[in-house]
């Protein structure tokens, strides 16, 4: 079948019926909304990828659903098109930097390509795989594994209550292990949050949302995307240093959220002197060493904060005899299972560890 003979839904990439209505998702492909900010639907990239609708966008660019006509699989494609410094030529679809932004665009495009290439070399269980990066239309495109997922904040909203540590540790500690791995590769995420931590239909947890540092820093040349309560204080200043401790803050905030069902205090609240409440004061069932580890990870000052994911994990495992078997273990992709003897009414994205032979 030729690349252009595929008749697929531009919303979900499922096969279409003759009238253009998708039986899988209900999308009407006769009424596709187009604008100059996104590629035209059914555009072919790299003589291989059939591009569909935009699934999300931020100051770095667009994320599309697409179809790989060679491997015949769905993928995600991220396009670098930073709206503050560039726009699209409506005829050629090329990305054109604004006047006086040419040098900045070129340098950030190079950084985007370098970051994507570095991420494509990372192979760890909870990081959404990046297959390749290529250049076209005076910009670059990154091809990611497709997964149908739910964001963790949506999951928390559905269950409407806090989770318990014995359940959470089974997916959180392997996630920390994966983030430690990317840190060793020189990659800082800067956007870890319930929006970027997701899990798929099989219950596998994924970390998404890797971006340029400018997207995760207030006041930068690009439109920033920060997450109240989860972005670290240093991300709200151009003069502060960011590093592994920045991701530690976000991990601590995420754990605070899932164990208390309460959003951590925002940067504005903390800067104004708002009182920080330890998680154990909200949920008495949280083990003290876990609450203390979260407190240290959420220190407002970078000098007082836990500096690395390894240190954070060690604090979580302190005085917790049964937890050490979870960290550093390889995990299989298992179906979603119900867990928790006292809380049997919710389903978590849990991966079972391999049994020792």
Phi, psi of 13 (to 5 degrees): 65, 30
Domain assignment of residue 209, yes or no: yes
Residue 17 pLDDT grade (very low, low, confident, very high; cuts 50, 70, 90) = confident
Confidence of residue 328 (pLDDT cuts 50, 70, 90): very low
Q: Which of 149, 146, 2 is nearest to 67 (CA)?
A: 146
Angle (nearest 5°) at CA 84 between 83 and 90 = 40
User: Residue 11: inside a domain, yes or no?
Assistant: yes
Cβ atoms of 293 and 312 within 8 Å: the answer is yes
The answer to whether residues 221 and 88 belong to one domain is: no
* 187 is a domain residue: yes
Distance CA(94)–CA(298), nearest Å, equals: 43
In the block, tokens 């997922």 appear at 149
- Cα separation, 54 vs 35, in Å, equals 11
Average pLDDT value for the chain:
88
The 10 Å CB-count burial string (b at 16+, else e) for 161-171 is ebbbbbbbbbb
pLDDT at 214 > cutoff 70: yes
Mean pLDDT on 34-38: 85
Name the 3-class secondary structure at 6. Answer: coil
The percent of residues above 70 in pLDDT, for the chain, comes to 88
Same domain, 84 and 135: yes
Q: Tell me the CATH number at 79.
A: 3.30.200.20
Question: Could you give the residue ranges of the DSSP H alpha helices within the chain?
Answer: 102-120, 152-159, 165-184, 244-260, 267-271, 279-282, 288-297, 309-317
* Biggest CA pair distance of the chain: 63
* CA pair distance 210, 131, nearest whole angstrom: 14
Domain count, the chain: 2
pLDDT at residue 321 tops 70? no
Q: What is the CATH number of the domain that holds 290?
A: 1.10.510.10
- Does residue 171 sit in the same domain as residue 308? yes
Let me know the angle formed at the C-alpha of 100 by 96 and 102, rounded to the nearest 5 degrees.
45
Q: Where do the H-state alpha helices sit in 161-243?
A: 165-184
Read off the pLDDT of each residue in 121-142 and give the average, rounded to a whole number.
Answer: 96
Structural domain of 70: 3-145
pLDDT digits (tens, 9 = 90+) for 148-162: 999 999 999 999 999
Going by pLDDT thresholds of 50, 70 and 90, the confidence category of residue 18 is: confident
Q: Is residue 43 part of a domain?
A: yes
Is pLDDT above 70 for 351?
no
Q: What is the pLDDT of residues 221-240, one digit of tens each?
A: 999 999 999 999 999 999 99
Same domain, 252 and 237: yes
Q: What is the mean pLDDT of residues 318-337?
A: 44
Say yes or no: 87 and 236 in one domain: no
- Same domain? 254 vs 284: yes
Residue 92 is assigned to a structural domain of this protein:
yes
Rounded Cα distance, 189 and 212, in Å = 9
Evaluate whether 245 touches 306 at the Cβ level (below 8 Å). yes
Q: Are residues 157 and 242 in the same domain?
A: yes
pLDDT in tens, 56-93: 999 999 999 999 999 999 999 999 999 999 999 999 99
Which of 95, 116, 145 is where one domain is finished?
Answer: 145
Task: Tell me, yes or no, whether 194 lies in a domain.
Answer: yes
> Do 198 and 325 sit in the same domain of this protein?
yes
What is the structure's pLDDT at 349? 47
3-state secondary structure of 68: strand
* Element counts in the chain: helices (H) and strands (E): 8, 13
Residues 158 and 136 reside in one and the same domain: no
Q: pLDDT > 90: what percent of the chain?
A: 79
Among 61, 238, 206, which Cα is nearest to 133's? Answer: 61
pLDDT at 325: 41
The pLDDT of residue 330 is above 70: no
The answer to whether position 354 is within a domain reads no
**pLDDT on residue 34:** 77
What is the pLDDT at residue 4? 54
| CB proximity list for 145: less than 8 A, separation 6 or greater | 75, 76, 128, 129, 130, 131
| Residue 353 counted as domain residue | no
253 and 159, same structural domain?
yes
Angle at Cα 54 formed by Cα 49 and Cα 57, nearest 5°? Answer: 120
Do 156 and 140 have their domain in common? no
The residue with greater pLDDT, 340 or 143, is: 143
CB proximity list for 97: less than 8 A, separation 6 or greater: 85, 86, 104, 105, 106
- 100: its two tokens: 């006086």
Q: Are 194 and 151 in contact (CB under 8 A)?
A: yes
Q: What is the pTM of this model?
A: 0.88
Instruction: Select from 86, 112, 145 the last residue of a domain.
Output: 145
Which of 121, 145, 169 is the last residue before a domain boundary? 145
**102/161 same-domain check:** no
Please state, in angstroms and rounded to a whole number, the distance separating the CA atoms of residues 198 and 128: 10
Written as six digits, the tokens of 82 are 């930073």
């Amino acid at each position: 079948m030729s690349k252009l003979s595929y008749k697929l839904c531009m919303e979900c990439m499922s096969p279409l019926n003759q009238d253009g209505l998708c039986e899988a998702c209900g999308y009407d492909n006769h009424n596709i909304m187009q604008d100059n900010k996104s590629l035209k639907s059914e555009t072919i990239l790299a003589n291989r990828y059939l591009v569909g609708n935009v699934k999300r966008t931020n100051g770095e660019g667009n994320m599309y659903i697409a179809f790989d006509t060679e491997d015949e699989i769905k993928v995600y494609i991220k396009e670098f098109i930073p709206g503050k410094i560039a726009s699209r030529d409506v005829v050629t679809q090329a990305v054109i930097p604004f006047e006086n932004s040419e040098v900045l665009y070129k340098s950030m495009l190079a950084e985007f390509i370098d970051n994507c290439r570095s991420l494509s070399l990372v192979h760890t269980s909870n990081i959404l795989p990046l297959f390749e990066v290529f250049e076209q239309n005076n910009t670059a495109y990154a091809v990611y594994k497709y997964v149908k997922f739910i964001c963790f904040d949506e999951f928390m909203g559905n269950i409407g209550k806090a989770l318990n540590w014995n359940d959470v540790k089974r997916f959180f500690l392997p996630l920390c292990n994966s983030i430690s791995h990317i840190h060793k590769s020189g990659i800082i995420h800067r956007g870890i949050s319930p929006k970027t931590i997701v899990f798929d239909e099989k219950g596998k947890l994924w970390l998404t949302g890797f971006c340029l540092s400018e997207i995760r820093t207030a006041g930068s040349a690009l439109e920033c995307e920060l997450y109240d309560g989860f972005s670290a204080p240093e991300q709200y200043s151009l003069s502060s240093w960011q590093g592994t401790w920045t991701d530690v803050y976000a991990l601590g905030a995420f754990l605070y959220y899932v164990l208390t069902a309460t959003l951590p205090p925002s940067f504005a609240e903390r800067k104004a002197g708002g009182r920080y409440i330890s998680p154990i004061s909200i949920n008495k069932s949280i083990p003290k060493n876990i609450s203390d580890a979260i407190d240290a990870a959420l220190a407002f000052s970078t000098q007082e904060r836990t500096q690395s994911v390894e240190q954070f994990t060690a604090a979580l495992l302190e005085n917790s005899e049964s937890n050490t078997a979870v960290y550093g273990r390889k995990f299989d992709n298992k179906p979603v299972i119900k867990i928790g003897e006292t809380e049997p009414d919710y389903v978590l994205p849990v991966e079972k560890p391999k049994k020792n032979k």
